[in-house]
Structure 1
Amino acid sequence: MQKPTPSNRPNSSASKTLACGLEKIVNLSGNEPLSVPVLADRSDPLGLKSVQPDKVPMESAEGTKEVEMMEVDEMSGEKGKRDEMGKEKVKNAGMEEEEESEGSESELLGDGGFGNLQLNPSLRAGNKAIEKEDKGKPYLVAQVRGDGVIAARMKLFWDFPELVFVPFSLFDNAQPIEIGDTFRLHKCEWTKSETGWEERGDWLYEVTGRLNYQATATDVSRLRQRLPTRAIGILVDVQRARDRHVKVAMVSAPELSCVMRAYRRHFPADFTDTDIRYRSVVRLQLRQINNPPWVLYSQQFAYVLPSDFGKKRGDELLVHHANVIAGVEPEPMGYEFPFSAELTWAKVKLGEKVMAAAVAAQAFDVKADLRKHTLFVEPVVINEISTRSVVIQFVMPVPSIEELTELCNIWEIDLAVGCKVNPTAKAKPCAHGYVLSIDKRALCVGYEIDAKVILSYQEAKDQDAQEEFDQLRCGELDGCVELIPQTSVRALQERMFTLRSNDCSKLATDEGKVGRIMSILLGRPVKPESPKANNPLMTFGALSKLKAGQVDTALCMLDEVPRLVFQQAGPGTGKTFSAASIVATVLATDHTARVLALAPPNVAVVKLVLEMQDALAAGKHVEPMLALFSGTGKLRYAKEVERISPHLLATAVEAQDFKELLQKDQERVKVERYLDACERNPRLAQEMAVAKIVQEHKNRRLCFATLSFCEQLPALFGETTHLIIDEAGQAPYVQILNLVSQLPCLTKVLITGDRRQLRVHLPSLPLAIREDFGMDTVIQNLDVAQGTDVTTLSVCFRSHSALVRCTEAGFYKPHGELLTPGRDDSERALMTDQTAFKLPKKGVPLILVHQSTPAQRDEVSTSSANPGQTDTAMRALWRLARAFPGTLIRCICFYAAQALEIERLVAQQEIPDILVTTADATQGHESSLAVVVTTCSVLDSGADSQPFWADAARVDVAISRASHGMIIIGDLLLLNRTETWRRYLDQATTETTVVGPEYFDFEQFNNPDNYYDKDGQLISANGGAVRSEHFYSKYGKNVWYNNSGESRGAENRYQPYLPQGGTRERTRGKASNSGAHR
């Protein structure tokens, strides 16, 4: 059969015509070449001389321009056009979506882009002749194999197979075939087997992930392939065979719909297996699937199917205009992080795209977790609140403790839930609600959860959601319902688009004030400018009380130069007070100023508001404040939020003068519904919508919120001139970049925090992106940024001097930093002046209790509790509660199970007002008296990293909360074997005497005959020193110790509980690629 030559092939340069957009049309037909009709005028073969210009559709001209732009580089998008991106994609794909309709061949070719024009009659005659040719049936390449492809039928044709195998030999094309390509099938040979499938099993062999097929193609035509576009990605995992060659690499990029698989065929030959490394930055070639517009993509088995395909596993992603990987190349420029002044602009822009890929990986991980923990349950309606609301209950078995822990990390109280009754992929939930309670139980074999969920009817477009909800409410369902956990990734997607579009670097090139601030954030070389030494405003209000480093911060924030100030502040050094004092002065002296004060945790926001109240009062300035919280935040931290109730949004909209400003009925309804929800169910209160109304009518100059709340609605704060970020250790760099890029009026940014305390919770992120991709604290970037104004607060005004010296020795002195006492001991004498009991060391409010009882793992989690230390903690709390109000006492535990057990006992024994929290939930809090319970008791010599109870940042937070006194309970000999605790205990044991748990026995604790010797050491009535002889018999003797008291060989890793073992995380190297990396 003669193959058409370039001279007689119709539309031989199809890739340059409007008909094909970004596609190339390859003639693969095995039939005779198409006859070309004789044209009336060879100099004008399409008869264009008769075309009237005013009849040319504008879409065609615009389409040409879009094609040209996309061929150059599809990555360079404008952030302002994000909302139009989907529309553009649909417009670009419009012709292709129509191509496969069962129309004439002229429709399949798109009429060369001139569908609305009057063409030469002889050409029309030729088209009619083409219509008689066999067009074949449309197929989608679903999976690529070593010798061919498996293709899926795109429409229902009973005489054609659902899945067909096509050998590569049938395709005459220089470009590799990839999933998402389309072609026409003319002939095939059916499989002759009993099952109808060529290979064993059904349509999918799940052991290998290979699609099966019913026939082998013998004649195909019209292969259509989109031209590839470029993108930047990260290899978040690399799987190798035993001989170390690469089998598959998992790739994340913002242009993808999930983390996708790249096989060895996608990499060029000169990109060797050695160069393909975990966490490498790569350049991708992507192809977009526009026909069909919706496809099902299997992340596990790397296949695509039409959305209405008859067969599916159920875990495929429904994707619109999906991008698939066509090639992976090394990134030649080289990615470096953190950004420094030596980097070129090109490397900074590359860095933004790399961080966008990391944020994409985070978003994909969140979505994957939600899909993985979507539950199919048989609910029981236990309470019909109304015809539109019900409470359901379900019980679900869970086979292992690991699965139970993963499930309960997602399914927790207050989790937002959607309920689907209709099982089809495109169906929407008919009800939404949240989890009321969830209980875990251990069974003889396995575990189970017992959950209660409140659901309310939710209308759905093009769906009879009311009937579905009524079936649920009335118990008329035959099967399961689908409960979908819902967590918004909108903020992550916004960060991703900001970075992918290079919005930050574009803003940094602006010579304005916000441009200078962004330049500093990106590490660009910025000429430093020292603030004026004598600013007359320093005598205003609370500023007159500032000391040392606090004054330096104020001088930077009160001059006219746009600045980004980082205030390094240890525990209790007054960072929040100094920030509040500065803000109060700015508002009083600059009537154009708009201040936005943020912090990652809710409790830190509350503290900011309280400090601001005092600072405004000191300056005798009245300024209305607006504090915004999510409904969940208001519930979880109800006691703390109640302290600032005059400044909450509900208080602002309840005021009569505000209600008089509302002129639209719609606004009044929203406000009334909001107030009603605040009373009945704060989770349902529309805080953002009502806050927008308040700002429109009464623009508050001073607003407070959490970072995550602000990031979801940055337009609400678009007029902000001064940005304050507290507890910055928990603020990711990418989050700050995204936030600053959306505040165009900024002139000053104050970021304050402690680089030695808790940072971003990296374990919640995919392992590959935890380091070097901007996901960690912004502080590490500020430390290297040339233009950052850095001030340091090193005087602790919170704690007793003995507590401060121990904290300094453990966490600050090793880094060459200071933390000095700022209070006289007489100001922190609550524990030292009391007469209810005697301290182990006179005048020192620190009690170290050595207790080596074994810890036990919780039966329904991987957390632990120590029964012996629980008993000691309860006795300590009971003794303290007899001497001091419970509101002054806090119990801090390193383990959640330990905290829950003590909290239960505190409630059971009716010890009022004592708070029990974990160490991680304590940052931002402070307490007069603290009892710290460490729990751990067992070592594991095989662990690959230090235990979390020895993490310096976590320990620093736990033991720096107390102001007047602290009790630490733990196996001090075990703790002393970690570097963190050793440094602390070296100082602490010089300040006080270590005692055993018997110290809290009633006879010992309250014995009036106990006395102090000349060195201040507590002596019992029988003449012996009150101390732990077990501890002192081994401490400092260079003898390795375990909790059984036996000596053994040196070991340097730890586990907190019995039994040992379990999965261990691999320690990964830093991000790397073919270029230089920092």
Structure 2
Amino acid sequence: MQGIGSSSTASVGTSVQNNLCESEKNVGTSVHSKSEKEREISLKNLTISDNASIEKGTSVHDKIASEEKLLEDVNVIDPEKITESLENLVLGAEDEHTEKEETLKQALDEWEKSGNSWGEENESQDFGNEVKSKGKKKEEKEEPKERVPKGRRYVVSQLQEARLIAVSTSPNKEDEWPLFMEIPWNVLVEINNEDATDACVGDDIYITKFQLRTDKFRTLNENTWFYQGNINWQATATEVEMVGIQEYRMKTGFVVETRKRGKDGKTGSIRVIAFGMERTSVLYKRQCVEVDWDNLKKGMFIDVALAPIEEGWLIGPNYILPPGCNFRLGTEVLARSNSKIATAAGTFEGEWRWTAASGIPRVFPITQQYTMEEIHLAETLIAAALIVASEEEETSRMETTYVGPLTRVSEENRRNFTIMFASAEKKFIKKVTEIWSKDSNISAQTSYRSKAFAQGHVNEVRKLESQDNKIRIEVEITLVVNQGKFDHQDDFESMLEGSSVILRVREGAGGFRMQAETFGYHLPSIVCERDTPQAEIVKSLLGRSGTIDRVDESELDNLDLNMECVRQLNDKQRHTLVHWLNPGVGRVHFTQAPPGTGKTKIAATCIAAALRVEPESAVLASAMSNLPVTKLVIESARAEVAVDMVAFFSGSARVRYGEQIGQLEEYLLEAKLRGEEYKQSLEKSEAREVEEYLKVVRPQPRHAREKAVGEILMRIDFHRVAFATTFMSAAITGAHRQTTHLILDETTQIPFCTVMHLVCHMPALKSVLLTGDKRQLAVHLAELEEVIQRGFGLESIVEQVEECTRVTTTTLERCYRAHPAIVDCFDFASYRQHGERVIAAVTAEERAGLTNSGIHLPVNGIPVVLIDVEGQNIQDPTSFSLECPEQTEVVLRLIKILEPRDPNIVIICLYTYQAEIIRQSLRKIDSRVAVHTCDSFQAQEQRIVILVTTRTLTKGTRATSDFIKDAASNGSTFAFPAWIICSC
């Protein structure tokens, strides 16, 4: 996608973008850049003798591209796309890679030694031969004599309908052998090798003779090597000496997507995943033996044949490429030392008893009826789903990589720049705005093989008017030169002078790869076999039966906890505390907490009480996002926790939530490292790490390595109370080996797989407290592949808790936050129908902010106002979100009335575009009122809330509420019907 720039505001650049082909949609992406060298492989007048010696030929050569050319319907690629940068996209930056947990290593060893190991002749190996060798078992064949092949070694790169495409293992070798070679099926039949026709991607092929093409594809370049999902070839092999079939083993995975082709809509290919793969892979009918091909559906289980791939190779969706290959699409993933690729697939022969309403198998939630064998398989499939989630996150960052020069905001400004993305595809622009969001961390490189010379962040994202039928997005960024042992100033100066650079958003905070390994190596099952409280906790969360430790609430009085925070608890809150303090054989306790019922307060009290009862206890308090973590720290400080506490926050969090985190100064990692006593305990490298952290954490918080330095602190001075997000907690390797108590707040937002990952890496754990509200928003999965959004363990842990009989539960009822009228509203709407209740614990006089403001309310003394707004929808030109101008006008009028009386206002919108438009309008009137979407306002509160609700109602539509019934009976229709104003 060619970047479009203006002379004053934007840079001309390029980016990676999906190019949907007619035959294979979503197979690849393209990159191109004016500043890069175009590499051609020219093979002319070449003949090969019987012994494969070369009589005539030309060599591989480079030429500088005089002009970038985009061919119609052909994907264009960047000649040096992704080498080192791909390593950072697999599991994070290399300098942040740390050792895995000892238990994970043990699990890996057991996995490699299991009955499915490469060398064993077992049932799965026989099945694999059935896939690749027409059912002949290896033990029935004579052992071939080892011989050294004389032909040139190629590796099968891609399977096509009528041929194999093989790629040279030495792509940059200066000789006349082509890079890509066609291997017709008839050539494989003619050689003396029974397995030759079973060759798949990754297998070796030794070629002795070939015939060059006579058309334009004899010479390939970045524009022509790949077309509509297929690799083009430069020559055809006419004689193959030998085919080396890789050993493989079967692994159960599932179908991620089925792709239809032709007018009849028949399945042309499928995309599959299994644990062990780095990414999903496209398979064709020829590779799927005895599979009911035309009836395959996404989500169906399938047995996948996995073969090893050499470290350093690049894995595409339906092909592989050797290290150093200059031709690539841009979304390839780097193979690691133990990576596998899918070569074939067969029908899942096992029995699975659980299906969704659609008839597709589901593995989550895990019920009491699951056998351990079924849990074992469920772990494998959850791991596969996590790889799909990780791939989605990684490829999105690669597809939106920017290549080109930057435009300085002003001549005197050496830090701030603008870049521009432009495309006619709304789907791509939507992805750009999601990846290049405000405060996202970015890095700059001179090439894909060089280290980053600068780092920075996104300041602002602006949507500009379309030009030439292309949607334009301008991104304002800040970049500063990297400091360290390498001098990057020259690269930075070159960028300032207009040289092309490569910008990409750095890795996000999903942590899916780490979690995939926990499940893929069956760590939950392994922990279950131990005789520890941690094992009982894992069993409880997996729905296993066992001892349920009943607790008498009078035991709390026997503990003689003379603490003010304990005395303030109501009876339901005390019920939570007494279970927390009595772990028995291993405790998981869930506190169902509607809004304002004091779940954060009870969590803080639990921390203080645990340290009072057992001074040697160690507590980790965590949540999915940063704001709930800050509230946990504040409440714990009020509860007078008797030990030194530490809180970990990423650099991005320090910038985004600087005001809230600034209140916690004495508990931050920075404060713990200021003392001189630590220096004597540090290694030289650690001392340098700490010194660098302290130097940048305030002026440049995004450059501070919180995880690495946090690990150092917890090793030399273990803090018995720690606070961090779930991702940060998991990333500080080994920091929680001594943790005995775990508190997870806002658990409706935390996936089951994340909780299980944390618990499995805490060997000393004996008590877990989960707090949250199952009636509130669950985990946001809309951006992930549809197939993994339900039934694969990425849903909320709360859904699993409902299947676990050993998890004890408390339901809080008293709301201390809202006006009684508002409590009655959400009690009726969300809780009463589930047999729960929420009772106002404060009087109307204590929540009179809106009722005493001088505003005429429709119902006297009731701070709830419903305003009908009739208007038209307008769709965001860069996404599929909506906005209503009439709504925006109403909110501006409301803010002008309310803000002078009480500035404690928040506006919450159900549509992102509506929120953006209102935010822009408020800036014009110098209003300080914050605007959020429902997701972004999670775990926050405000005194006056203006909620933009949305409803599309046409005549004849069945009404679902009394208000809508009344409106419908009067013949009214509203695109955006209502604002609800309430005061808490």
TM bracket (short chain) = 0.7 to 0.9
Instruction: Tell me, in whole angstroms, the C-alpha distance in 2 between the residues paired with 1:613 and 1:857.
Output: 46
- Which residue of the partner structure matches residue 577 of structure 1? 601
- Which residue of the partner structure matches residue 888 of structure 2? 870
- Which residue of the partner structure matches residue 792 of structure 1? 811
Q: Which has the larger radius of gyration?
A: 1
The answer to whether the aligner puts 1:354 opposite 2:381 as a matched pair is yes
Instruction: Tell me, in whole angstroms, the C-alpha distance in 1 between the residues paired with 2:676 and 2:378.
Output: 50
Amino acid at match of 2:521: S
Going from structure 1 to structure 2, the CA distance change for 1:352 and 1:385 (only over 3 Å counts) comes to: farther
The answer to whether the aligner puts 1:397 opposite 2:422 as a matched pair is yes
Q: Deviations over 1:153-202 (max 9, x none)?
A: 334474544424343313432471112211222233444x3547499999
Going from structure 1 to structure 2, the CA distance change for 1:370 and 1:179 (only over 3 Å counts) comes to: same
- Which residue of the partner structure matches residue 188 of structure 1? 210
Q: Residue 361 of structure 1: CA displacement?
A: 0.3
Instruction: Tell me, in whole angstroms, the C-alpha distance in 2 between the residues paired with 1:194 and 1:165.
Output: 18
What SS class does the counterpart of residue 356 from structure 1 fall into? Answer: helix
Q: Residue 257 of structure 1: CA displacement?
A: 2.3
What SS class does the counterpart of residue 293 from structure 2 fall into? Answer: coil
Amino acid at match of 1:838: H
- Which residue of the partner structure matches residue 546 of structure 1? 569
The answer to whether the aligner puts 1:173 opposite 2:194 as a matched pair is yes
Q: Residue 278 of structure 1: CA displacement?
A: 1.1
The answer to whether the aligner puts 1:306 opposite 2:322 as a matched pair is yes
Match of 1:924 among 929, 934, 939: 939
Q: Residue 735 of structure 1: CA displacement?
A: 0.5
In 2, are the aligned partners of 1:186 and 1:221 still within 8 Å (CA)? yes
- Which residue of the partner structure matches residue 392 of structure 2? 365
In 2, are the aligned partners of 1:404 and 1:861 still within 8 Å (CA)? yes
Match of 1:221 among 235, 241, 246: 241
Moved more, 771-780 or 867-876: 867-876
Match of 1:324 among 330, 336, 341: 341
- Which residue of the partner structure matches residue 848 of structure 1? 866
Amino acid at match of 1:772: G
Q: Deviations over 1:542-561 (max 9, x none)?
A: 22222232222112111241
- Which residue of the partner structure matches residue 974 of structure 2? 1043
In 2, are the aligned partners of 1:853 and 1:937 still within 8 Å (CA)? no
What SS class does the counterpart of residue 808 from structure 1 fall into? Answer: helix
Match of 1:640 among 642, 660, 680: 660
The answer to whether the aligner puts 1:418 opposite 2:440 as a matched pair is no
- Which residue of the partner structure matches residue 357 of structure 2? none
- Which residue of the partner structure matches residue 955 of structure 1? none
- Which residue of the partner structure matches residue 675 of structure 1? 694
- Which residue of the partner structure matches residue 933 of structure 1? 948
Equivalent pairs: percent with the same residue?
23
- Which residue of the partner structure matches residue 464 of structure 2? 441
- The 5-angstrom pairing of residues 848-997 of structure 1 reads 848-859=866-877, 861-884=879-902, 886=903, 888-911=904-927, 914-934=929-949, 936=950, 938-939=952-953, 979=960, 982=961, 986=962
In 1, are the aligned partners of 2:454 and 2:479 still within 8 Å (CA)? yes
TM-score under structure 1 length normalisation: 0.71
Going from structure 1 to structure 2, the CA distance change for 1:671 and 1:87 (only over 3 Å counts) comes to: farther
Q: Residue 410 of structure 1: CA displacement?
A: 0.6
- Which residue of the partner structure matches residue 815 of structure 1? 834
| Structure 1 residue ranges without an equivalent (≥5) | 1-29, 32-76, 94-125, 942-973, 990-1030, 1045-1053, 1058-1078
Amino acid at match of 2:604: A
Match of 1:255 among 273, 276, 292: 276
Going from structure 1 to structure 2, the CA distance change for 1:746 and 1:78 (only over 3 Å counts) comes to: closer
Q: Residue 858 of structure 1: CA displacement?
A: 4.2
RMSD of aligned alpha carbons: 3.7
In 2, are the aligned partners of 1:938 and 1:1043 still within 8 Å (CA)? yes
Q: Deviations over 1:33-69 (max 9, x none)?
A: xxxxxxxxxxxxxxxxxxxxxxxxxxxxxxxxxxxxx
What SS class does the counterpart of residue 344 from structure 2 fall into? Answer: strand
Instruction: Tell me, in whole angstroms, the C-alpha distance in 2 between the residues paired with 1:666 and 1:174.
Output: 53
- Which residue of the partner structure matches residue 486 of structure 1? 506
- The 5-angstrom pairing of residues 473-622 of structure 1 reads 473-475=496-498, 477=499, 480-488=500-508, 491-535=511-555, 536=557, 537=559, 540-541=562-563, 542-561=565-584, 562-616=586-640, 622=642
Match of 1:246 among 249, 267, 291: 267
What SS class does the counterpart of residue 775 from structure 2 fall into? Answer: coil
Match of 1:281 among 284, 301, 316: 301
Going from structure 1 to structure 2, the CA distance change for 1:190 and 1:627 (only over 3 Å counts) comes to: closer
- Which residue of the partner structure matches residue 1027 of structure 1? none
Q: Deviations over 1:320-341 (max 9, x none)?
A: 5653323212331426431122
Instruction: Tell me, in whole angstroms, the C-alpha distance in 1 between the residues paired with 2:915 and 2:501.
Output: 35
In 2, are the aligned partners of 1:674 and 1:690 still within 8 Å (CA)? yes
Q: Residue 502 of structure 1: CA displacement?
A: 0.3
Going from structure 1 to structure 2, the CA distance change for 1:145 and 1:916 (only over 3 Å counts) comes to: closer
Amino acid at match of 1:265: R
Going from structure 1 to structure 2, the CA distance change for 1:316 and 1:605 (only over 3 Å counts) comes to: closer
The answer to whether the aligner puts 1:237 opposite 2:257 as a matched pair is yes
The answer to whether the aligner puts 1:408 opposite 2:430 as a matched pair is no
Instruction: Tell me, in whole angstroms, the C-alpha distance in 1 between the residues paired with 2:876 and 2:277.
Output: 40
The answer to whether the aligner puts 1:838 opposite 2:856 as a matched pair is yes
In 2, are the aligned partners of 1:186 and 1:220 still within 8 Å (CA)? yes
Instruction: Tell me, in whole angstroms, the C-alpha distance in 2 between the residues paired with 1:227 and 1:663.
Output: 47
- Which residue of the partner structure matches residue 313 of structure 2? 295
Instruction: Tell me, in whole angstroms, the C-alpha distance in 1 between the residues paired with 2:156 and 2:505.
Output: 33
- Which residue of the partner structure matches residue 374 of structure 1? 401
Match of 2:289 among 250, 257, 268: 268
Going from structure 1 to structure 2, the CA distance change for 1:1041 and 1:458 (only over 3 Å counts) comes to: same
Instruction: Tell me, in whole angstroms, the C-alpha distance in 2 between the residues paired with 1:590 and 1:640.
Output: 31
Instruction: Tell me, in whole angstroms, the C-alpha distance in 2 between the residues paired with 1:742 and 1:665.
Output: 29
| Structure with higher helix content | 1
- Which residue of the partner structure matches residue 123 of structure 2? none
Going from structure 1 to structure 2, the CA distance change for 1:663 and 1:198 (only over 3 Å counts) comes to: closer
Q: Residue 698 of structure 1: CA displacement?
A: 3.8
Instruction: Tell me, in whole angstroms, the C-alpha distance in 2 between the residues paired with 1:147 and 1:544.
Output: 78
Q: Deviations over 1:348-370 (max 9, x none)?
A: 01110100000000011111111
In 2, are the aligned partners of 1:436 and 1:452 still within 8 Å (CA)? yes
| Structure 2 residue ranges without an equivalent (≥5) | 1-49, 52-101, 119-144, 353-361, 980-984
Instruction: Tell me, in whole angstroms, the C-alpha distance in 2 between the residues paired with 1:930 and 1:190.
Output: 72
Q: Residue 141 of structure 1: CA displacement?
A: 1.9
What SS class does the counterpart of residue 697 from structure 2 fall into? Answer: helix
Amino acid at match of 2:442: V
- The 5-angstrom pairing of residues 732-743 of structure 1 reads 732-743=751-762
In 1, are the aligned partners of 2:739 and 2:765 still within 8 Å (CA)? yes
- Which residue of the partner structure matches residue 684 of structure 1? 703
In 2, are the aligned partners of 1:508 and 1:519 still within 8 Å (CA)? yes
What SS class does the counterpart of residue 511 from structure 2 fall into? Answer: helix
Count residues in correspondence.
828
In 2, are the aligned partners of 1:421 and 1:482 still within 8 Å (CA)? yes
Going from structure 1 to structure 2, the CA distance change for 1:517 and 1:200 (only over 3 Å counts) comes to: closer
Q: Deviations over 1:807-849 (max 9, x none)?
A: 11111122232222222333323333x2623322222222222
Match of 1:718 among 714, 717, 737: 737
Going from structure 1 to structure 2, the CA distance change for 1:159 and 1:606 (only over 3 Å counts) comes to: closer
Instruction: Tell me, in whole angstroms, the C-alpha distance in 1 between the residues paired with 2:785 and 2:701.
Output: 32
In 1, are the aligned partners of 2:406 and 2:418 still within 8 Å (CA)? yes
Q: Residue 144 of structure 1: CA displacement?
A: 2.6
Q: Residue 213 of structure 1: CA displacement?
A: 4.0
In 2, are the aligned partners of 1:363 and 1:489 still within 8 Å (CA)? no
- Which residue of the partner structure matches residue 472 of structure 1? 495
Amino acid at match of 1:367: E
Instruction: Tell me, in whole angstroms, the C-alpha distance in 1 between the residues paired with 2:591 and 2:815.
Output: 14
